[in-house]
Structure 1
Amino acid sequence: MGNRGTVTEASGFNPEEDAQKIYNAMKGPWVCVLSVLFQKQTNTVFSCSKSHYFKMPIQELLDCLKSELTGNFEMIVVGLMMPAPVYDAYELKNAIKGAGTEEACLIDILASRSKAEIKEIIATYKKEHGKSLEDDVCGDTSGMFQRVLVSLLTAGRDESTKVDEAQAVQDAKDIYEAGEAHWGTDEVKFLTVLCVRNRNHLLRVFQEYQKISGRDIEDSIKREMSGCLEDAFLAIVKCMKNKPAFFAERLYKSMKGLGTTDSVLIRIMVARAEIDMLDIKAEFLKMYGKTLHSFIKGDTSGDYRKILLELCGGEK
């Protein structure tokens, strides 16, 4: 499957030249970085501007950007300057540090990344922040929620396509007996299956679970659990079923109603623009009957809106 991002390489792409233009823009009084990022008729490659093309360390680049930009626009531009694993590590660090923890960020990233991506995030986190990501997660979370996150961090999921029919039936029974058929819930059984089995196998488990229980696995998780643990297991299930639909739902919820959860909106738009934004847009339209473009346009303003709409990649 090819690239399904809205951000693709533009013709005449010259990373060093474009990076220098952005650097010069930052050095001036306030020359809008946006005009440099979007100077081409075709989609601009944001990776042209990422730190490895600058002759400066990433932290110096970020400090330079932060001195020139503010608010949500700053958050997006800073994110676009980072390679994917650096951005994920940066977001995880921000979710953990300080008072309280942004559990939604931990769930969004750790439940949706592949085994290879998780390993790269862990290595990058150590390099960029000098600490173990697992230690930091353990220091800021507790209980079964912590155990789920640690399990995801061990990157032990089988990534083959093999389905063991007998095991799938047993897994479905184990989950049913640990939840719906059990007084109280044995979350360890859910963890053992949901954090380890491969996607094809889990899709078969979910089918078998529906037969046994008469309910969708998501409905059972909602009935049996609550809080961050419920959110984590639901995220895993949804990502296994349809990852673009999971992100479409997260984007919708970040914008519907009063106010916007900008941290979620920014994180997903930046992280998925070069990967599967086309698929996310298609799922958004299918699920909500409106385009992602129209939602963003109606919920944001100014340069913040312009850069989000560019990442969205058009009305359709």
Structure 2
Amino acid sequence: MQRPFGEVYGMEGRPALFERIQASRGDEGAGPKSTEGRVIGGQSHRPAHSWAPLSLLPPRHRAGRNPGSPSENSFRELTSFEADTEPGEGGAGGIAGWDCGDGFAAISQPKPQCLPFPWDRMQGLGTQRQLESLERRTDREAVLTAHSTPSSAYGSVKAYTNFDAERDALNIETAIKTKGVDEVTIVNILTNRSNPQRQDIAFAYHRRTKKELVSALKSALSGHLESVILGLLKTPAQYDASELKASMKGLGTDEDSLIEIICSRTNQELQEINRVYKEMYKTDLEKDIISDTSGDFRKLMVALAKGRRAEDGSVIDYELIDQDARDLYDAGVKRKGTDVPKWISIMTERSVCHLQKVFERYKSYSPYDMLESIKKEVKGDLENAFLNLVQCIQNKPLYFADRLYDSMKGKGTRDKVLIRIMVSRCEVDMLKIRSEFKKKYGKSLYSFIQRPLGPSPQKGLQSLLSQPQEGLHCVRGCPEAPEDAGLTSNTTFSFLGGHLQQDTKGDYQKALLYLCGGDD
């Protein structure tokens, strides 16, 4: 059962807004739990206490956040207060406040300034879960602000220009209530919005209907299309965490999924996955990996999951490159047996750029390249993990292009792999994946997705391939689409899309193709 939002701390018995979620997650600066109080029906209930820090949705990151960002707008609508956008010692990106005494407080001002504290606005603020979701969006926006070139530059799904969360929420509500469910509208909207925008839609939907969008879509959709759409409604870290949990749930372990995610994510992504995994499942990812794997394979997975690889730098250490290449050769092909710990140490600690040069240098010592050496030296899950890891290091977009091809080649389709890659990469590097796919296989991913995959999943994956052009509200079938949009569910583009068209159909196909972002 969700708790009413609005637990507070007080200062000498005076009202002071302080979200309970800070103390519950143990953030630095969280007040002592003995000061805990509540706001119920607009009335404050708090113990007397000499002092307590005040901070609403405190940030985890030190990066500043632009005014007018989606989470700031959502917070303003929710509480009538402004979000802190000043970077600095206080940790911008969150909401800070000061108790000025006698029912006055200052919220998100560079210096304490007293404002009337609107206790009457506390009623109907929503659930703690809603605010925690808003907090996560605030964190993500802060991270993006800290990087000059976000990874989404190569994503096929980008932020929608004329975004209106309320309008999208209304259209989705109407689509769900339509007899037989209007899947086309649901697909067209959710596959053409960025992840932060989808979070805002879910928030707006809950505000409109008092229901969770995920629950409503679970009831309305089914099969592979449901998997695509529900995956899109999670944050990237939530999606990866849930996929990792599923790979280790019950009898046996889905090593293939575990390896793909752990080997392909960046340090920052892995650290966020670890945090979210603990938040979602109340246990550490590392503990679950240890309990579900064994031997050297376990050691490799645990080392990678920590996300402690050296970052790429501007200085190239040619001496270390040569030494690492020699060490890999000496620990493997050159000797009888394999010094696996040495391989694990080098391949999990060195930067990606460094290892790319190491693998090139390795060829001057060994008669085999690194991939061939792995096949000769180790077997089973450990072999598979090392092969995936080296392929990711050498060329990650090509690695995913190969994974997509393998998931759809031959008779039948490995939908789980196909969906996971399309959902997880559509806002990261799908444009690069499409290019590598076309280069290697001579057909577009877009066309490949259109083979029959099964009932009603295709539309979603196509959507991830095919972002509408600037100026188009949506494709035909979306309530706000112009009649002359010129796009229908039968539209085919020309190349990564070419492969998508061969093994999918219906709304699942459209979703896949939109996520692909178009034909090459």
Aligned pair partner of 1:181 in 331, 334, 346: 334
Aligned pair partner of 2:423 in 262, 267, 270: 270
- Residue 164 of structure 2 corresponds to residue 164 of structure 1: no
Per-residue deviation at 1:17? 2.7
- Name the counterpart of 2:262: 110
- Residue 161 of structure 2 corresponds to residue 11 of structure 1: yes
Matched length: 312
Q: What SS does the corresponding residue of 2:403 show, helix, strand or coil?
A: helix
Aligned pair partner of 2:503 in 290, 299, 308: 299
Aligned pair partner of 2:198 in 35, 49, 60: 49
Describe the shift of the 1:95–1:52 C-alpha distance in structure 2 as closer, same or farther (beyond 3 A): farther
Amino acid in the other structure paired with 1:280: I
Contact kept? 2:206, 2:212, Cα under 8 Å: no
For structure 1, which segment, 287-296 or 22-31, has the greater mean C-alpha deviation from structure 2 after superposition? Answer: 22-31
Contact kept? 1:22, 1:33, Cα under 8 Å: no
- Name the counterpart of 1:238: 391
Amino acid in the other structure paired with 1:11: T
Structure 2 residue runs without a partner (length 5+):
1-148, 450-500
Contact kept? 1:176, 1:213, Cα under 8 Å: yes
Aligned pair partner of 1:129 in 281, 284, 288: 281
Runs of 4+ in structure 1 over 6 Å off: none
- TM-score (normalised: structure 1): 0.93
Describe the shift of the 1:53–1:167 C-alpha distance in structure 2 as closer, same or farther (beyond 3 A): farther
Contact kept? 1:22, 1:49, Cα under 8 Å: no
What is the correspondence of 1:188-267 to structure 2 with a 5 Å cutoff?
188-267=341-420
Q: What SS does the corresponding residue of 2:349 show, helix, strand or coil?
A: coil
Aligned pair partner of 1:75 in 216, 221, 227: 227
% identical aligned pairs: 43
Q: What SS does the corresponding residue of 1:180 show, helix, strand or coil?
A: coil
For structure 1, which segment, 47-56 or 127-136, has the greater mean C-alpha deviation from structure 2 after superposition? Answer: 47-56
Structure 1 residue runs without a partner (length 5+):
none
- Name the counterpart of 1:98: 250
Cα distance in 2 for residues equivalent to 1:240 and 1:212: 20
- Name the counterpart of 2:519: 315
Amino acid in the other structure paired with 1:299: D
Q: What SS does the corresponding residue of 2:411 show, helix, strand or coil?
A: coil
Contact kept? 1:19, 1:54, Cα under 8 Å: yes
- TM-score (normalised: structure 2): 0.57
Cα distance in 1 for residues equivalent to 2:356 and 2:189: 44
Q: Would you tell me which structure has more helix in proportion to its own residues?
A: 1
Aligned pair partner of 1:63 in 207, 215, 222: 215
- Residue 148 of structure 2 corresponds to residue 148 of structure 1: no
Query: Deviation per CA, 1:258-301, whole angstroms, max 9, x where unpaired?
Result: 21111100000000111111110000011111111111110111
Cα distance in 1 for residues equivalent to 2:503 and 2:228: 16
Query: Deviation per CA, 1:94-146, whole angstroms, max 9, x where unpaired?
Result: 11112221111111111111111101001111111222111111111111111
Cα distance in 1 for residues equivalent to 2:205 and 2:518: 29
Per-residue deviation at 1:160? 2.9
Q: What SS does the corresponding residue of 1:211 show, helix, strand or coil?
A: coil
- Name the counterpart of 2:101: none
CA root-mean-square deviation: 1.9
